[in-house]
Amino acid sequence: MSHLIDKTLWEIISQNTSDTESEWLTEKGKASPIELMTAFVASPRFLSKKIVNVEIEEEKALTDAVAGFSVNGWSLVRLSRVWLLTQLDETEKETFIKNIETLFDTAEMNELVALYSALPVLAYPEQWLFRATDAVRSNMGFVFDAIALHNPFPAKYFSELAWNQLVLKTIFNDKPVHFITGLEERENANLALILSDFAHERWAAGRSVAPNVWRLVSKFMNEQLLSDMKHLFESRQTQNQEAAALACYDSDYAPAKALLSSYPEFEKSIDEGALTWSNLEFTDLNTYVPTLQR
Amino acid sequence: MCQHCKDSSAPNPSHFEEGDGLANSPAHKEMAWSEYNELIQGMRFFDPHIHMVSRTTDDYQAMRQAGIVALIEPSFWVGQPRTGLSSFKDYYSSLVGWERFRSSQFGIKHYCTMGLNSREANNEPLAEQVMEILPLYIYKEGVVGIGEIGFDDQTPAEEKYYRLQLELAKEAKLPVQIHTPHRDKKRGTERSMAIALEHGLDPSWVIIDHNNEETVKSVLDQGFYAAFTIYPFTKMGNERMVKVVEQYGPERIMVNSAADWGISDPLALPKTAALMKMRGISDEAIRLVTYQNAIDAFGKSGQIDVSDFEGGLSVEKTEKFHGNSILRGGQQPDVSKDSLVIQ
């Protein structure tokens, strides 16, 4: 456990808690493992329901310590739970792992969210790989989001297969793909092709894919993907056309450049900086009611 | 149906038990729910006892539509013996995990009570193990009591684990939800109350469930909450319920459906409310027995925040519930059941 993380988390907590609350946490943080674990469970009974305020310097300190780690928008309970986990004695590997596994096994939804949020700062990171991939299989939106979005653990530790599952399931659930930490660094040709297949299934069913996801294909543009770009250009939906234009613009594949040149108004707008991927980004995490469908 | 139950020599399920005699003369009135549901327009209901793991998405949608905004799912048995501790862990976790999430998808706030069921207390080696892990569950967010516990066959093992769980409730400062037995009910109910008082529990923290005309007076006189289960054939019918409220008034009385995997009705509350309205019971009395009293009793756990559901469990409310402005689960879109075409 990085001392800096631990210290910064506590700074944020102390700015967001009453004396009674921070005293309770301090006491539990020093307690025996079983008492600390019970405190992890019982936190909502002792801490107020609120979203924490995080100063810019603290935010920066966290990201400097663990790239991509952020507690922005977290509830006090979630943050305190993660802090409590950082206080759990990790000197004996076996015991530490057993304790964390027990918490996973008996966790309710919000505890799972806290546990998955803590993975980037937990000792023995390779131990949590299975748990992390299991969270991607979760049907509970909150749990899935905790591992998939704004969490640096998957980009750092997932295999390509597990990573592609994570990205594809985010797309499948119509969640904002740009909230995935490390999305660009972990782009790969397989993912681009799976995405193309997936889009074809959606199109066959008369459904659509969030335009924003086509940012994943530029580097891997080939004949198959180019035909998808044509399909998007011809869809007569502006956002699809913009996505195709951006994907072609970012690509080094000559036929993609040629295709884009037949849509000069989009090319111009990208050149001028008026059209970027951020125009197509959306923030709705609603799993079942995609805003961009149809 | 009921006859069939009586003849069965197999152990009976929790709520779907043999009839109490009245089932042989069902008051079969031709009053359609669809003709009377406008009587409860604008009312809100809190069902303090319903086993949603056994129910379908259709039930959830119908419940929400009929005004049920929150519910309590007591832990009970799964209908057949458990084969090990993991089965309990998975079940308890589902009550605070998947089922809670599923409920939120339909705009209904889901609470639960945790406990070792009386029937399952009879498997002592397993019961011992369950008692060891139970403390990890009772302190969880949204756990509003220890339940449903109490007597079934009234064996020594049942008494042992009932007492242990009463102590646990005291320590955790949680209300207790007590299942009263189907057989030898009156004595079982008295015994449950006597033991609770012996352990020093405040009766206003104890909800005695599955009452009937025979048990209610003593329960109320001793200061306990009296819950009534509206369950076809085997427990209370809602016409009888109306009479109970007429006789005893609404104080410390609550209605539940105890709907589970037996023939039961997840709309028992709204239907009973409509019948009460029809029979001239005041709106305030209806509100107390179908909503407020349950909140007052189980709210002693400190785990019920009415602002989470009184305006409906909207996406914003879910957001608040999860205490995170970013994490959202989304709610199920309404599906038109009348359409042949499925999109």
Cβ-defined contact of B323 to A108 (cutoff 8 Å): no
* Contact assessment for residue A294 and residue A285, using Cβ atoms and an 8 Å cutoff: no
How many whole angstroms separate alpha carbon B34 and alpha carbon B36? 6
In chain A, residues with a C-beta closer than 8 Å to the C-beta of B135 are 38
Which residue in B326, B332, B341 has the most chain A C-beta atoms within 10 A of its own C-beta, making it the best mutation to test that interface? B326
Q: Which of B106, B112, B141, B300 to mutate to test the interface with A (most CBs of A within 10 A)?
A: B141
Closest Cβ opposite residue B101 in set A45, A76, A109: A109
Helix (H) / strand (E) element for A176: namely none
**CA separation (Å) from A198 to A13, A205, A250, A291, B273?**
43, 11, 22, 18, 49
Angle between helices B124-138 and A33-46 (to 10 degrees): 50
In chain B (343 residues long), the average pLDDT of successive 10-residue segments reads: 40 49 50 87 96 95 94 92 93 94 91 95 95 93 96 94 98 96 92 98 98 95 97 88 96 97 95 95 97 98 93 52 40 67 73
Measured distance CA(A231)–CA(A227) in Å, rounded: 6
Task: Determine the longest span between alpha carbons in chain A, in angstroms.
Answer: 68
pLDDT at B312: 62
Q: Is the dihedral of CA A186, A188, A194, A197 positive or negative?
A: positive
* Yes or no, beta carbons of B328 and A45 under 8 Å apart: no
Q: Output DSSP code: residue A254.
A: H
Cβ-defined contact of A49 to B324 (cutoff 8 Å)? no
Query: Cβ of B302 and A45 within 8 Å?
Result: yes
In this complex, the residue of B140, B305, B330 whose CB is nearest that of residue A41 is B140
User: CA separation (Å) from B232 to B13, B264, B267?
Assistant: 14, 6, 12
Tell me whether residues A49 and B89 touch, CB distance under 8 A: no
CB pairs < 8 Å spanning A and B = 108
Q: Residues A206-233: pLDDT tens digits? A: 888 999 999 999 999 999 999 999 999 9
Contact A106 B136 (CB under 8 A): yes
pLDDT of residue B223: 98
Helix (H, G, I), strand (E, B) or coil at B227: strand
Contacts of B110 in chain A (CB under 8 A): none
DSSP string, A57-115: HHHHHHHHHSTT---TT-BHHHHHHHHHHHHS--SSHHHHHHHHHHHHHT--HHHHHHH
The number of beta carbons lying within 10 Å of the beta carbon of residue A104 is 17
Provide the pLDDT for residue B338: 72
Q: What percent of chain A has pLDDT over 90?
A: 88
List the structure tokens of A101.
């596994």
Of B140, B142, B322, the CB nearest to A142: B322
Length reported for chain B: 343
Most B CBs within 10 Å, among A24, A70, A80, A108, to test the B interface: A108
Q: Answer yes or no: do B327 and A139 touch at CB < 8 A.
A: no
Tell me the nearest-neighbour CA distance from B71 into chain A, angstroms: 17
How far is Cα A156 from Cα A179, in angstroms, rounded to an integer? 15
Chain B residues within 8 A of A111 when measuring between CB atoms: 140
**Distances from the Cα of B297 to the Cα of A3, B223, B289, B300, angstroms:** 45, 12, 11, 6
CB contact under 8 A, B105 and A288: yes
CA nearest neighbour of B325 among A85, A193, A74: A74
Smallest Cα–Cα separation from A218: which of A257, A172, A166? A257
At residue B286, φ and ψ (nearest 5 deg) are: -65, -45
DSSP string over B152-195: SS--HHHHHHHHHHHHHHHHHT--EEEEPPSSSHHHHHHHHHHH
pLDDT computed for residue B77 by the predictor: 87
Q: Are A106 and B315 within 8 A, CB to CB?
A: no
Are the CB atoms for B266 and B71 separated by under 8 Å?
no
- The mean predicted confidence, pLDDT, of chain A is 93
* A147 in Cβ contact with A155 (< 8 Å): no
Q: Do B100 and A109 touch (CB under 8 A)?
A: yes
Task: Please judge whether A111 and B92 are an interchain contact, meaning their C-beta atoms are less than 8 angstroms apart.
Answer: no
Span A37-52, average pLDDT: 94
CA distance B319 to chain A (A): 10
Chain A residues whose C-beta is within 8 A of a chain B C-beta are 37-38, 41-42, 44-45, 49-51, 73-78, 102, 105-113, 139-142, 145-146, 149-150, 284-289
CB atoms within 10 A of CB A34: 12
Helix (H, G, I), strand (E, B) or coil at A45: helix
Q: Look at residue B13 in the predicted model and tell me its pLDDT.
A: 47
**In residues, how long is chain A?**
294
- Tell me the one-letter amino acid at B215: T
Q: Quote the CA–CA distance of A137 and B101 in Å, as a whole number.
A: 15
Using an 8 Å CB-CB cutoff, list residues of chain B that contact chain A: 89, 92-93, 96-98, 100-101, 105, 133, 135-137, 139-142, 302-303, 305, 315, 320, 322-333
Contact A108 B105 (CB under 8 A): no
Residue A168 distance to chain B (closest CA, Å): 18
Residue from the list B92, B100, B328 with its beta carbon closest to the beta carbon of A141:
B328
Q: Does ipTM exceed 0.85?
A: no
A65: pLDDT strictly greater than 60 = yes
CB-CB neighbors (< 8 A) of B105 in chain A: 288
Is residue A173's pLDDT more than 90? no
Give the C-alpha separation, A39 to A24, whole Å.
Answer: 9
Beta carbons of A106 and B329 less than 8 Å apart? no
Closest-approach residue (CA) in chain A for B141: A44
- What does the pLDDT read at residue A288? 39
CA dist B199 to A26, A83, A292, B185, B195, Å?
34, 38, 59, 21, 6
Which residues, including other chains, have CB under 8 Å from residue B308's CB and lie 6 or more apart? B70, B109, B317, B320, B321
Place of tokens 């490390």: A182
Separation of alpha carbons A287 and B315, rounded Å? 12
Closest residue in chain B to residue A205, using alpha carbons only = B343
Q: Which residues contact B217 (CB under 8 A, 6 or more apart)?
A: B248
Q: Cβ of A285 and B328 within 8 Å?
A: yes
A287: which strand partners? none
Query: Shortest CB distance from A289 goes to which of B92, B302, B333?
Result: B333
pLDDT tens across A87-138, in order?
999 999 999 999 999 999 999 999 999 999 999 999 999 999 999 999 999 8
* pLDDT score recorded for residue B105: 87
User: What is the rounded distance in angstroms from the CA atom of residue A195 to the CA atom of residue A132?
Assistant: 22
- For A288, the closest of B98, B327, B333 (CB atoms) is B333
The span from the CA of A134 to the CA of A128, in Å, is: 10
pLDDT score of B37: 85
Read out DSSP for A179-226? GSTTTTTT--HHHHHHHHHHHHHHHHTT----GGGGGGSGGG--HHHH
Q: What angle do CA A164, A165, A169 make, to 5 degrees?
A: 115
For the record, the structure tokens of B143 come out as: 């756990």
